[in-house]
Amino acid sequence: MMDFLRRLMYGRYGNDSLNQFLMVISMILLIPFFITRWRIFSLIILVLIVIAYFRMFSRNTYRRAAENQKFLSWFTPLQRKATGKKMQMADKTHRYYKCPSCKKTLRVPRGKGRISITCPHCKYKFVKKT
């Protein structure tokens, strides 16, 4: 069985981040499909799965890798932003503010009352309750 799979996948592209993303999106779309029973959802799910399998069995590995690279250049910053927000929410000893001037994120200790915050990047001063 393993030998059969190995021979089947020989020279083919296989799985990557874009395929995993397509599969996750199609799994998420199952929820509204089961609730509403609208055929449009099943159609979208089918298209996503067909694309994912086409990419997986494709022999044009160079092109598939380029697609994945394009996807990652869009997806990685979003992912990084999401994990940053999650870490900020988990931090109970600090509060996070955006500098009104340069938009950089600043971390200040929580529970100090109204304090004047000086941005270390642009030296802009603003008052916030912590």
What residue ranges bind Zn ion (CB under 5 A)?
A: 99, 101-102, 119, 121-122, 124
Those residues whose C-beta lies under 8 Å from the C-beta of residue 122, and which sit 6 or more positions away, are: 99, 101, 102, 104
Specify the residue, 49 or 115, whose C-beta has the smaller distance to Zn ion.
115
CB contact at 8 A, 60 and 68:
no
Min dist. Cβ of residue 100 to Zn ion (A): 8
Report, in Å, the least distance between residue 101 CB and Zn ion. Answer: 5
Tell me whether residue 27 or residue 108 sits nearer to Zn ion (CB atom): 108
Three-state secondary-structure class, residue 116: strand
Q: Cβ of residue 47: shortest distance to Zn ion, in angstroms?
A: 45
Instruction: Considering the complex, state which of residue 21 and residue 124 has its C-beta at the smaller distance from Zn ion.
Output: 124
> Based on CB atoms, which residue is closest to Zn ion, 40 or 102?
102
Cα distances (angstroms) measured from residue 40 to each of 9, 34, 49: 32, 12, 14
Is 114 strand, coil or helix?
strand
Q: How many other CB atoms are there within 10 angstroms of residue 70's CB atom?
A: 11
Give least dist CB 117 to Zn ion, A. 10
